[in-house]
Structure 1
Amino acid sequence: MRINQLKAGAVLSYISMGLGYIISIIYTPIMLRLLGQSEYGLYNLVSSVVSYLGLLSFGFGSAYMRYYLCYKAKNDEDNIAKLNGMFLIVFSAIGLITVIVGTIFVFNIDLILGGKLTINELAKSKILVIIMVINIALSFPMSVFNSHITANEKYIFQKLIQMIKIIVNPFIMLPVLLMGYKSIGMVIVTTVLNISIEIANATFCFKKLKIRFSFRHFDFSLMKEMTVFSSFIFINMIIDQINWNVDKFILGRIRGTVAVATYGLAAQFNTYYLSLSTAISNVFIPRVNKIVATTNDNQELSDLFTRIGRLQFILLSLVCSGLIFFGKSFINMWAGADYNESYAIMLLLIIPVTIPLIQNLGIEIQKAKNMHKFRSKVYLFIAILNVLISIPLAKMYGGIGSALGTAISLLIGNGLIMNWYYHKRIGLNINYFWSQIVKFVPSLLLPISVGVLLNMFVELNNVVVFLESVIIYVAVFGLSMSCFGMNKYEKNLISKPIKKIIKKCKKYSQ
């Protein structure tokens, strides 16, 4: 029987994330206490700065997807082989450039990270940078294989490999931390695991997908075309780096590693929140490209955009409201009183980003239509505004100020400008989209009322009482959403798998 890769990929994504969250809940408090707040802040600071080297990919990964699917639709295996060869050459060169830039970074570490770090922290940061640069440099040429697997919609293999990594990571990381290697040990383990994943991807491509490479006749005209296409994706990558990493850099220079640690923990919650949405939309990237390449039907795209957006809203509204009502108590019990400020920072990050997260399939629609230039220009302006706002706010209010600057820029860029662009230029029916989202409002009234009452009358700092309260809230949310919010399609997505499991259990029990 043929397995539906889209559904299986989405299911495995959420199983993988669920495992990741459970492991993180157990592992992170131990890691925080073994590292200490200052060391954790240093790790976050260096990671945020080194991550800018990822910009050297120039957004070519999205270009690969677009051109691969065009050739695949024509069964043009020769051009696919040339495309693979071209990308391997380009990304290998980028990997070499990464090493050169990373070396310059190491020799100027004190100038880049500022005067708030101690001599010991600066020495340790150099080692961290070297290991992280090696990790990124190797990941560039190997990314061709991961892109090839995605383009072929082999999501089951991808998600299983990631799931194995999530499970294995803490079992290796904790002994390393207990032996006293701290942040340096963490980045070594991460690098080894990443290299192992890349080797597994390459092996799968050669043995199962029979990937071919052709290095003859490098197509410079195609390279130029892809560079133009990728240039605006590159701008988007810069924007994402500014929005999610510049605050740590600003805080590191203005306030030091402790402030970065507090912000970093909140940013970790935000990362989890982002992944909840993209796990659904990412598996629909090839489908969006196929629709655009064949019919380019805006009605079909609008329906898909709205259907996925509603599913994302159901999940994100549960998580977002849950964090509002229970996040403060959870952080206090989980990470300790030193991280209390992370609660306010977390909310300032996740609430505004909910709008683009329920619309992130629109980004792929823009790319497929080659109409992503406007978004890039607008977001670049907003990102610069974010920096200009965040610096004075960080001086006045620390991490909360930095997060507030990011929140303002996200609301302007995603909440207002991009919705106008989707409707007026891309051709998506945004009025229909929001009319479908607004239909969820009645289903939110009951769980919000329960959440308020629990916070008013229940002592949530007790672990047992906290868990009981969360279970009650989730149950009320699910019941209310099912009765007053979800449509038939959404209910079937939940009920059909449950019915199949019950049916199979009855069959085997007979």
Structure 2
Amino acid sequence: MSQLKKGAALNYITIILTNLVGLLITPYMIRQLGNAEFGLYSLVGALVGYIAILDFGLGHTIIRFVAKYKAENDKKGEENFLATTMAIYLFISIIVILIGAICNTNLEFIFQSSLNNLELEKAKIMFIILIFNLAIVLPGGAFDAILQGYEQFVFPKALNIIKYIVRSIMLVGILYFGGKAISIVILDTIMNMIIIVINGFYVFKKLKVTFKLHKFETHFVKEIFKYSFWIFIFMIIAQFQWRSGQMVLGIISDTTSVAIFAVGIMLGGYYGAFSSAISSLFIPRATQMTVAKVSNEELTDMMIRVGRISFISLIFILGAFLLFGKQFVFLWVGEAYYDAYIIALIIMFAYTVPLVQGFANAILEARNMLAFKALIYFVFLILGTILGAILAKKYNAIGMISGIVFGWFICQNIMNIYYQKTIGLNIIRFFNELFNKTILGFVFSIIIGLLINQIPGFDWFNFIIKAVLFTLVFASVFYFYVVNNYEKELVNNFLTKLKLISKKNEK
């Protein structure tokens, strides 16, 4: 198996592992830390996340340029490029420390209405440690990018899986023996430093990569930042999309509201990761079709195929969470987190259409046309965050997410017009095919699910019984009524492979 295929397999293992472990550890963290301290931990992490965007997308740039120099067998150019980027990273780390120092001295002013004196002291300690962590992690991330540029996917991904498992075990141990949020931050810093050292050793000793500045050229620096600029914009967008709410709530509300919001965002993030794991498989196909200059109708056909597979998978999760999510959240983290269920539900409803249109984004990447989308999301997510801050004064975490989601909604409608008018995709046909039979199948499954939800009981066993029954109902309705021949063939092929694996295991 090639590095690419092994890397892809490890990538999916990572997604499953992080989501599963996150679901298991989060309630334990909340129970051991308490709602307020868990919220404080989330809040400081969100604040540092804003400073982390000072990476300027250089990691992606390193992957691209290293792959280019490797293909051209230009060792001197690679050495000069890497030495230049490390000089830039050194400058960035200094800026990170300076900004961190300024923010740290003003934490009392920023959070004066939401944190008490003890929480402020803890926040300052965690913030200092995380800034130190960030100043090392940003340049250290260059080693991981170099490995990807050299198409060495297995080693770094396997190492990250090991790191995640070890970190999870140690985290449980620390919490069990009474450790608090500061202890977790210290653990993460140590783990990150170990990973950087190991990756650096592999890059220098195994790949024989060297950093050597042959000539410093300003136009070369401009070329680096020209490539990384739009990646940087999308990093800012991601911060507003997933972290802005925690920051705003930390300023105008309290750490408990931050904790509730963080849990809702976490569940929404798992929903998005599940869909991305499906749609990312088709990104190479989008590039190939674009290079081959296939017609817009053929691109629309592929977008429909990918979109329907993602949509059916997503509305199954959405339906199950709509029906049984409240019970799951109560059993998982407690009744105090009811608003987290509402937040996750809002995210799932709002995020479904953007997720099923992932193939359209792949087309934008293939055609190097991301600028318009970046600007639209940048403007309207900032406006959405402002609206969320206004609503949060009265409605707390739910008001915050409502404002952000409104920004998403406007962005997606604008992008659909852009896909239709500028890219040439047939968006009207896309939605007609997407909703063909799926909505009726979804509604029918929900009606049966409401009856299933009447089964008395509220424990984990009861939840599993309901979830299994709904899964059987949904699968039956969609297999026999909703899916088309192509989708049915995918299911049949998957079941055939499972049977073959089972027979081999029996032998």
**Under a length normalisation based on structure 1, what TM-score does the superposition of the two structures give?**
0.88
Question: What does the per-residue CA deviation read over 1:145-165, in whole Å, with 9 as the maximum and x for residues that have no partner?
Answer: 323344455444444333323
Query: How many angstroms does 1:303 deviate by?
Result: 5.6
Question: What does the per-residue CA deviation read over 1:474-504, in whole Å, with 9 as the maximum and x for residues that have no partner?
Answer: 2222333333444555555555455345435
Match of 1:397 among 395, 398, 401: 395
Q: Pick closer, same or farther for the CA change 1:304–1:58 going to 2, 3 Å.
A: farther
Q: How does 1:373-384 map to 2 (within 5 A)?
A: 373-384=371-382
CA distance in 1: counterparts of 2:83 and 2:236, whole angstroms: 27
Q: Which runs of 5+ in 1 are unaligned?
A: none
Query: How many angstroms does 1:46 deviate by?
Result: 1.0
CA distance in 1: counterparts of 2:465 and 2:59, whole angstroms: 45
Q: Pick closer, same or farther for the CA change 1:235–1:16 going to 2, 3 Å.
A: closer
Match of 1:482 among 468, 473, 479: 479
Match of 1:232 among 214, 230, 233: 230
Query: How many angstroms does 1:125 deviate by?
Result: 0.2
Query: How many angstroms does 1:180 deviate by?
Result: 2.2
Q: Report the AA paired with residue 250 of structure 1.
A: V
Q: How does 1:183-262 map to 2 (within 5 A)?
A: 183-206=181-204, 209-262=207-260
Q: Pick closer, same or farther for the CA change 1:13–1:243 going to 2, 3 Å.
A: same
Question: What does the per-residue CA deviation read over 1:316-348, in whole Å, with 9 as the maximum and x for residues that have no partner?
Answer: 222222211111111111111211121112212
Q: Pick closer, same or farther for the CA change 1:418–1:30 going to 2, 3 Å.
A: same
Q: Pick closer, same or farther for the CA change 1:318–1:96 going to 2, 3 Å.
A: farther
Q: How does 1:281-320 map to 2 (within 5 A)?
A: 281-282=279-280, 294-295=291-292, 297=294, 299=296, 305-320=303-318
CA distance in 2: counterparts of 1:214 and 1:436, whole angstroms: 55
Could you say which residue in structure 1 is the equivalent of 2:344?
346
CA distance in 1: counterparts of 2:488 and 2:98, whole angstroms: 53
Could you say which residue in structure 2 is the equivalent of 1:424?
421
Q: Note if contact 2:3-2:152 (Cα within 8 Å) is conserved in structure 1.
A: no
- Structure 1 stretch displaced more, 384-393 or 303-312: 303-312
Across the aligned residues of Structure 1 and Structure 2, the Cα RMSD in angstroms comes to 3.0
CA distance in 2: counterparts of 1:504 and 1:410, whole angstroms: 43
Q: Note if contact 2:143-2:200 (Cα within 8 Å) is conserved in structure 1.
A: yes
CA distance in 2: counterparts of 1:490 and 1:9, whole angstroms: 26
Q: Report the AA paired with residue 395 of structure 1.
A: K
Query: How many angstroms does 1:435 deviate by?
Result: 4.0
Question: What does the per-residue CA deviation read over 1:194-235, in whole Å, with 9 as the maximum and x for residues that have no partner?
Answer: 333334443444455554544322343233133234333322
Q: Pick closer, same or farther for the CA change 1:475–1:156 going to 2, 3 Å.
A: farther
Match of 2:266 among 262, 265, 268: 268
**1:162 and 2:160 aligned:** yes
Identity over the aligned pairs, expressed in percent? 33
Could you say which residue in structure 1 is the equivalent of 2:128?
130
Query: What SS is found at the alignment partner of 1:242?
Result: helix
Q: Report the AA paired with residue 434 of structure 2.
A: I
Query: How many angstroms does 1:466 deviate by?
Result: 1.0
Query: What SS is found at the alignment partner of 1:398?
Result: helix
Could you say which residue in structure 2 is the equivalent of 1:38?
36
Match of 1:468 among 452, 465, 474: 465
Q: Report the AA paired with residue 39 of structure 1.
A: E
CA distance in 2: counterparts of 1:99 and 1:128, whole angstroms: 14
Q: Report the AA paired with residue 115 of structure 2.
A: L
CA distance in 1: counterparts of 2:160 and 2:486, whole angstroms: 29
Q: Report the AA paired with residue 503 of structure 1.
A: L
CA distance in 2: counterparts of 1:150 and 1:479, whole angstroms: 42
Q: Pick closer, same or farther for the CA change 1:58–1:12 going to 2, 3 Å.
A: same
Question: What does the per-residue CA deviation read over 1:174-196, in whole Å, with 9 as the maximum and x for residues that have no partner?
Answer: 22112222101111222222333
CA distance in 1: counterparts of 2:52 and 2:369, whole angstroms: 23
Q: Pick closer, same or farther for the CA change 1:271–1:198 going to 2, 3 Å.
A: farther
CA distance in 1: counterparts of 2:362 and 2:79, whole angstroms: 24
Q: Note if contact 2:83-2:212 (Cα within 8 Å) is conserved in structure 1.
A: yes
Question: What does the per-residue CA deviation read over 1:243-265, in whole Å, with 9 as the maximum and x for residues that have no partner?
Answer: 22121122122221111111111
Q: How does 1:367-378 map to 2 (within 5 A)?
A: 367-378=365-376
Q: Pick closer, same or farther for the CA change 1:16–1:231 going to 2, 3 Å.
A: closer
**Under a length normalisation based on structure 2, what TM-score does the superposition of the two structures give?**
0.89
Q: Which runs of 5+ in 2 are unaligned?
A: none
Q: Note if contact 1:9-1:159 (Cα within 8 Å) is conserved in structure 2.
A: yes
Match of 1:437 among 434, 438, 446: 434
Question: What does the per-residue CA deviation read over 1:277-318, in whole Å, with 9 as the maximum and x for residues that have no partner?
Answer: 3334456666766766x5465657656554443443233222
Could you say which residue in structure 1 is the equivalent of 2:89?
91
CA distance in 2: counterparts of 1:295 and 1:211, whole angstroms: 35
Q: Report how many residues are paired.
A: 505
Q: Pick closer, same or farther for the CA change 1:66–1:4 going to 2, 3 Å.
A: closer
CA distance in 1: counterparts of 2:155 and 2:21, whole angstroms: 21
CA distance in 2: counterparts of 1:84 and 1:283, whole angstroms: 30
